[in-house]
């Protein structure tokens, strides 16, 4: 059966020594980044992009991918021990995880978080092994009109699922489209909005934008307040395994979290944060003892932690099979593919099957490594947190500066990063979500290219977008999404309550 062939191939490539090494490096850095608040997988992957020039494409993607799902493991550590989420997606783990720690059950909380993460992650990869080939086959039948409609739907979804006001999210998406149009137009070759700067001829690079919006702005926000020392929770983390009852109570949440997390992860705009929130809400609703949620219920830790890992794994699928990034991390990872001259998308499976299956195989192995190594190393992670922020932020700033410079040895890129840092800071203060801007920046040029090609194919006839059944379906769903808030006003009121202001997948 195809599934098992692919599985074997994936594992065979995954256990090659060089790939193993970089997988380990990636998940280790990922865990570290997940543990440290203030530094996230987005900024880290951007920072490490230049390093991967010297590696093969397989090794690069393996390492960078490992950072993302590794961070989902690390984030729960600080949530449970310190009530501070290392990652936005671990925010909900603070609720019950920290309460468990206060009751002396920090070990089992950490243990079930790791186990749930492993199961969720592995489920996600299995689904990927299963779904990727048929999805890629289907996507090969997509022409420019279908691709354009898919991107419009994707962009709409991302904006729809963003936290905060939908109008503001769409404003940021529009701004992203505008920034994306800076540079050389792909169809006519004319230069747009480059202000005479040769450095802008290729457009605004995503790495400085992301490092500014998420890295520099975060530092600026933290600098507003004096850098207080973090309060430390002295906990003896001796027993890491939950007891039998806790295992029993976690089984359902883990199972449900895997499925929910995976499907929310595939959705553009979905992702780890949303899935952890949905899982928590779902478990509380299904629980026989809902009043225990918030006081240290293990279901409140098991479900969300499983869901965020399943979502993280799921979110690789649209990028690698359709060529469409569905969240900011994937947008940056796309940059990594392009640096190596590999175009992610339906052709990836055909032209670079070793790359695709190698990455998949490394994910299985990486998840296993994380399960084994995370728990014993908890003491190390915790001691790292003792480094005061006032010493950390200059180092993070330095890395951001080097990172944006080294993409193209361009000083202009560093200025762009600073500019977007200021913009990101203002956006946070004025309550505008940054994710739609980043996704629109990446998807905009792609969308424009497909739009242009479609109109050339149809001789300027706009009907081409509804003539194809696939395209028509995608556009109908988009329209439904856009008018749904007007119809479901009550749903819109609940939405801000569910989603917290903050960035997905940072």
Binding site for other proteins (CB under 8 A): 50-51, 53-54, 165, 167-168, 170-171, 174-175, 177-178, 181, 185, 187-188, 190, 192-193, 216, 219-220, 223-227, 390-391, 393-395, 397-399, 401-402, 405-406, 409, 411, 414-415, 418, 421-422, 425-426, 429-432, 444, 448, 451-452, 455-456, 460
| CB contact at 8 A, 108 and 241 | yes
| CB contact at 8 A, 144 and 457 | yes
- Of the pair 93, 454, the CB lying nearest other proteins is at 454
For 191, phi and psi rounded to 5 degrees?
A: -90, 130
**Degrees to nearest 5, angle at CA 217 with 155 and 94:** 80
Rounded Cα distance, 206 and 184, in Å: 15
Q: Residue 2: exposed, middle, or buried by beta-carbon count in 10 A (0-12, 13-18, 19+)?
A: exposed
**Closest separation between CB of residue 394 and other proteins, Å?**
4
The two tokens of residue 124 are 């996600």
| CB contact at 8 A, 82 and 385 | yes
**Closest separation between CB of residue 233 and other proteins, Å?**
24
**Closest separation between CB of residue 422 and other proteins, Å?**
7
Residue 179 CB partners (closer than 8 Å, separation 6+): 204, 209, 437, 441
- Of the pair 52, 374, the CB lying nearest other proteins is at 52
**Closest separation between CB of residue 146 and other proteins, Å?**
17
**Closest separation between CB of residue 206 and other proteins, Å?**
17
- Of the pair 26, 50, the CB lying nearest other proteins is at 50
- Of the pair 172, 349, the CB lying nearest other proteins is at 172
- Of the pair 193, 491, the CB lying nearest other proteins is at 193
**Closest separation between CB of residue 51 and other proteins, Å?**
5
Scored b (16 or more CB within 10 A) or e, 239-275 reads ebebeeebbebbeebbbbbbbbbbbbbbbbbbbbbbb
- Of the pair 336, 349, the CB lying nearest other proteins is at 336
For 496, phi and psi rounded to 5 degrees?
A: -60, -25
**Closest separation between CB of residue 308 and other proteins, Å?**
30
- Of the pair 236, 409, the CB lying nearest other proteins is at 409
| CB contact at 8 A, 72 and 27 | no
| CB contact at 8 A, 253 and 303 | yes
- Of the pair 49, 237, the CB lying nearest other proteins is at 49
What DSSP string runs through 404-464? Answer: HHHHHT-HHHHHHHHHHHHHHHHHHHHT--SHHHHHHHHHHHHHHHHHHHHHHHTTS-TTH
Rounded Cα distance, 179 and 177, in Å: 6
Residue 230 CB partners (closer than 8 Å, separation 6+): 82, 84, 385, 386
Closest residue by Cα to residue 397 from 217, 256, 202: 217
- Of the pair 310, 332, the CB lying nearest other proteins is at 332
**Closest separation between CB of residue 225 and other proteins, Å?**
6
Which residues on adjacent β-strands are paired with residue 191? 184
**Closest separation between CB of residue 223 and other proteins, Å?**
5
- Of the pair 293, 432, the CB lying nearest other proteins is at 432
**Closest separation between CB of residue 421 and other proteins, Å?**
8
């Amino acid at each position: 059966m195809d599934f098992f062939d692919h599985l074997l191939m994936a594992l065979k490539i995954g256990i090659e020594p060089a790939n193993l090494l970089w997988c380990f490096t990636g998940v280790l850095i990922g865990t570290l980044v997940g543990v440290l608040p203030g530094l996230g997988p987005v900024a880290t992957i951007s920072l490490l992009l230049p390093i991967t020039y010297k590696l093969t494409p397989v090794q690069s993607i393996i390492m960078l991918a490992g950072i993302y799902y590794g961070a989902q493991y690390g984030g729960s550590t600080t949530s449970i021990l310190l009530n501070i989420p290392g990652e936005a997606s671990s925010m909900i783990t603070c609720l019950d995880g920290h309460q468990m720690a206060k009751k002396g059950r920090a070990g089992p909380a950490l243990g079930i978080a790791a186990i749930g993460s492993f199961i969720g992650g592995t489920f996600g990869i299995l689904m990927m092994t299963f779904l990727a080939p048929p999805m890629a086959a289907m996507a090969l039948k997509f022409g420019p009109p279908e691709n354009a409609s898919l991107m419009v739907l994707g962009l709409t979804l991302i904006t729809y699922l963003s936290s905060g006001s939908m109008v503001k999210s769409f404003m940021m998406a529009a701004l992203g489209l505008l920034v994306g149009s800076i540079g050389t137009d792909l169809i006519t070759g004319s230069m747009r909005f480059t202000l005479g700067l040769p450095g802008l001829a290729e457009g605004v690079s995503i790495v400085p934008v992301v490092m500014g919006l998420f890295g520099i702005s975060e530092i600026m926000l933290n600098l507003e307040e004096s850098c207080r020392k973090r309060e430390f929770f002295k906990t003896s983390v001796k027993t890491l395994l939950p007891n039998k009852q806790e295992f029993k109570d976690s089984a359902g949440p883990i199972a449900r979290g895997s499925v929910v997390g995976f499907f929310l992860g595939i959705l553009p705009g979905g992702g780890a944060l949303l899935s952890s929130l949905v899982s928590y809400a779902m478990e509380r609703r299904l629980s026989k003892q809902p009043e225990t949620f918030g006081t240290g219920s293990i279901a409140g830790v098991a479900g969300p932690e499983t869901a965020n890992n399943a979502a993280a794994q799921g979110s690789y699928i649209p990028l690698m099979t359709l060529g469409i990034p569905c969240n900011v991390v994937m947008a940056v990872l796309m940059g990594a593919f392009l640096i190596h001259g590999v175009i992610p998308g339906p052709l990836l499976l055909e032209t670079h099957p070793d790359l695709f299956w190698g990455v998949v195989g490394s994910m299985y192995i990486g998840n296993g490594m994380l399960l084994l190594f995370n728990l014993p190393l908890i003491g190390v992670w915790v001691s790292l947190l003792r480094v005061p922020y006032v010493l950390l932020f200059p180092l993070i700033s330095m890395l951001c500066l080097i990172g944006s410079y080294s993409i193209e040895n361009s000083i202009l890129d560093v200025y762009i990063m600073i500019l977007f840092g200021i913009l990101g800071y203002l956006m946070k203060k004025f309550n505008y979500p940054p994710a739609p801007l980043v996704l629109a920046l990446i998807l905009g040029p792609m969308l424009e290219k497909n739009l242009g090609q479609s109109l050339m194919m149809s001789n300027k006839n706009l009907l081409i977008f509804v003539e194809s059944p696939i395209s028509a379906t995608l556009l109908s769903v988009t329209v439904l999404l856009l008018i749904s808030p007007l119809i479901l006003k009550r749903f819109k009121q609940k939405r801000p309550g569910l989603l917290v202001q903050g960035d997905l997948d940072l």
